[in-house]
Structures are given as C-alpha cells and as structure tokens.
Amino acid sequence: MEVLQSIGAPLDAGFRELGVQEVEKVFLKDALIWFTDCSRANSGTGSGIFGLRPNRSFSFPLGKFATVFQIEIYAILQCACENIRRAYKNKRILIFSDSQAALKALSGPKVTSGLVAECLDALSALASLKKVTLTWVPGHFWK
C-alpha cells in the first residue's frame, strides 16, 4: 500500500480491489472496520458510514447541490471524526470506500478543495493516535 506523505502520519491508502476472502482475513484482526456510502437522487444527496466493528451506522443528509465527490469525501471525514470522538484505544482503523476519486484526492500531491483539506486534517489527527488504512472496494461491496 502507498503511504500518504502529504500528512506525515501512518495513514495508508490502497487502491486495489479486494476479494471477499482477503477482506474476511482483515475482519479477523483486532480492528475497527468502517464502510462509507453515498447517494444522489432528485430529492437530494447524502452520506453514510457503517461500522461492521463497532456495530454503528450514521447518515448525513447533504441537500440537493452537493456533488458525488463532495459527499464521498464528507463520508470519510465523518468516519474520521466519529473515531476521534470515540477515542478508541489500541485499535487499527480500516475505512473502506468505493470512491477511487476521493481516495486519489486524499493521497494526491496537491489539495485544491477545502473539504479535502478538512478531511485530511481529521485523518491526520486520527492517524496520530492509531494506524488508519483507507482502502478501495467495489461499490456496494458490504451490502
């Protein structure tokens, strides 16, 4: 996996497709496992995070004008914030996202979005406390 040099913390980003058996091996470890999901419809947009371990889920309505990219980044941001708020001890945090664009923006050499910068700050704060891994999975992999 590639280390995100831009935040100077042990934050990994993997962009390869994981198979079910490989993910199951990861699930057996003592780690907190989160998935992000986003949706866009005529009625509006929204982000969500689902914790397989811990068993938690949260949704965030984001109105009609947010782009798919923004709602994907927002989901990762909220996942980082939730883990910071809960102050888990001695846990590895795995965040699975189906947005290659969001993961590439978070690992890119240049940040041009305030939301991406805010997300990187939250991930950096979280990574200063624990090992954080961001990994791409196919859409709706966990459903």
pLDDT above 70: residue 15: no
* Residue pLDDT, tens place only, 99-139: 889 999 998 889 999 999 999 999 999 988 888 888 887 76
Q: Is residue 10 part of a domain?
A: yes
Q: Judge whether 142 lies within some domain.
A: no
Q: What domain range includes position 128?
A: 2-136
Phi, psi dihedrals of residue 38, rounded to the nearest 5°: -140, 155
Query: Which CATH number goes with the domain that contains 83?
Result: 3.30.420.10
Residue 95 covered by a domain: yes
Is position 120 within any domain?
yes
Residue 8 has what pLDDT? 31
Tell me: pLDDT of 2 over 50.
no
SS3 letters across 36-88:
EEEEEECCEEEEEEEEEECCEEEEEEEECCCCHHHHHHHHHHHHHHHHHHHCC
Return the amino acid letter for 66: A
In a domain, 143, yes or no: no
pTM of the model: 0.80
State how far the Cα of 86 lies from the Cα of 77, in Å rounded to an integer.
14
Q: How far apart are CA 126 and CA 138, in angstroms?
A: 25
- Is the bond into 109 cis (omega within 30 degrees of 0)? no
Rg (CA), the chain: 14
Number of domains present in the structure of the chain: 1
| pLDDT on residue 96 | 86
In a domain, 34, yes or no: yes
The pLDDT tens digits for 32-65 are: 888 898 888 888 889 999 988 888 888 888 888 8
**Higher per-residue confidence, 115 vs 92:** 115
